[in-house]
């Protein structure tokens, strides 16, 4: 059996992106993408947000593309991270590791 992990999302950049570098020097950019619920769908009065992470060349994308409020199409794969805090709490985060994104007019 073949499994696929591929997502395509369209939404708005919900906060200004955070840029940093990994210990190996590769650039990273992270931002939440706000997704609209289809009208009439259960819970349509709320908006969903998912964290987007881009690494390497994609993270070097010009900052004018990744401005708060811009609508983007993001393509990538889902990833779930788990870790323990210093206090011993288990935390989980689901995010999209972007392979491409582009501005939607």
pTM of the full structure: 0.83
More confident site: 39 or 103: 103
Residue 65 has a pLDDT of: 80
pLDDT digits (tens, 9 = 90+) for 55-101: 998 988 766 788 888 999 999 999 999 999 999 999 999 999 999 99
Residue 38 has a pLDDT of: 60
Q: Secondary structure of the chain in the HEC alphabet?
A: CCCCCCEEEEEEECCCCEEEECCCCCEEEEEEEEECCCCCCCCCCCCEEEEEEEEHHHHHCCCCCCCCCCEEEEEEEEEEEEEECCCCCEEEEEEEEEEEEEECC
Complete domains list, the chain, with CATH = 7-103 (2.40.50.140)
Residue 76 has a pLDDT of: 96
């Amino acid at each position: 059996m073949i499994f696929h992990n591929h997502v395509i999302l369209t939404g708005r950049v919900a906060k200004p992106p955070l840029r940093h570098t990994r210990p190996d020097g590769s650039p990273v950019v992270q931002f939440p993408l706000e997704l609209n619920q289809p009208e009439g769908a259960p819970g349509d009065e709320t908006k969903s947000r998912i964290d987007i992470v881009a690494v390497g060349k994609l993270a070097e994308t010009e900052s004018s593309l990744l401005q708060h409020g811009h609508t983007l199409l993001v393509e990538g794969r889902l990833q779930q991270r788990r870790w323990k805090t210093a206090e011993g709490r288990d935390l989980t985060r689901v995010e999209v590791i972007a392979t491409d994104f582009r501005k939607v007019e």
